[in-house]
Amino acid sequence: MVGLGRFGGQLAGSLIRLGHEVLAIDRNPDLVQRWSDQLDRVVQADATDEDALRQVGITDFDRVVVAIGASLEASVLTVLALVELGVSQVWARATSGKHAKILNSVGAHHVIFPEAETGERVAHLIVTRMLDFIEFGHDFAIAKVRVPQALAGKPLSQVRPIEHHGVRVLGAKHPGKPFEYASDSTVLRPESVLVVEGNLDQLQRFADLP
């Protein structure tokens, strides 16, 4: 992990909680001190310097995340140094489309836009009745939605969600009951939560049914 700002620090902490060893690098001594008690290894170093990265053992790791957001130059030079050192997977945070293009051009294997992705996700949740969703590309997503009132009390064989709404109901969580996979006989009970698949527009329209 290179960069211990807000995003980098939170990501490093999450990786630790998932049981992964994390080496964190930052040139700011205050951030290094702040995280030294929470992470496995925290090192103060200039991550744009190949020799410094080699000395701290960065080449022992298969995946490195460059979470630098404040300095485009430092972000790009760090990615370039990691690529030159032969790190097999370099994940890099981009703060703009131009930044992303530069990161890709110098060899970043994965470019992420945490602020943009979070903003878009929250926007979808604010303006629709979806409870949560995961999008897998532009044409497929899975969402949690409450049973629309107009469909409550009906079995899936009558609702025919694929034919009428373009979505497939995968399962249902009824109040006080464990999750169950859906079948034609599944009754859409009021206040139940459904797991539904389709593209995001279809899922939004289904969630927003009256």
Domains and CATH numbers, the chain: 6-113 (3.40.50.720), 128-207 (3.30.70.1450)
Between 40 and 167, whose confidence is greater?
Answer: 167
Give 147's DSSP letter.
P
Count the Cβ atoms, other than its own, within 10 Å of residue 175.
9
- Looking at residue 49, its amino acid is D
N-terminal to C-terminal alpha carbon distance within the chain: 46
Stated as kind and residue range, the H or E segment containing 63 is strand 63-66
Q: What pLDDT sits at residue 32?
A: 95
Q: What pLDDT sits at residue 118?
A: 81
Q: In terms of pTM, does the model score above 0.75?
A: no
What would the pLDDT profile of 2-24 be if each residue is shown by its tens digit?
A: 999 989 999 999 999 888 889 99
Q: What pLDDT sits at residue 208?
A: 94
Average pLDDT, the chain: 93
Q: What pLDDT sits at residue 161?
A: 96
Answer yes or no: are the C-beta atoms of 114 and 7 closer than 8 Å. Answer: yes
Give CA–CA dist 74/79, Å, rounded. Answer: 9
Mean pLDDT value across residues 134-159: 93
Residue 48's pLDDT band (boundaries 50, 70, 90)? very high
Mean pLDDT value across residues 135-159: 93
137 has pLDDT over 80: no
Q: Which residues contact 132 (CB under 8 A, 6 or more apart)?
A: 125, 143, 144
138 has pLDDT over 80: no
Bridge partner residues of 108 (DSSP): none
What would the pLDDT profile of 112-131 be if each residue is shown by its tens digit?
A: 988 877 877 888 888 889 99
- Looking at residue 134, its amino acid is I
What would the pLDDT profile of 163-208 be if each residue is shown by its tens digit?
A: 999 999 999 999 999 999 999 999 999 999 999 999 999 999 999 9
Q: What pLDDT sits at residue 151?
A: 96
86 has pLDDT over 80: yes
Answer yes or no: are the C-beta atoms of 82 and 60 closer than 8 Å. Answer: no
Which range (68-72, 84-88, 105-109) has the least confidence?
A: 68-72
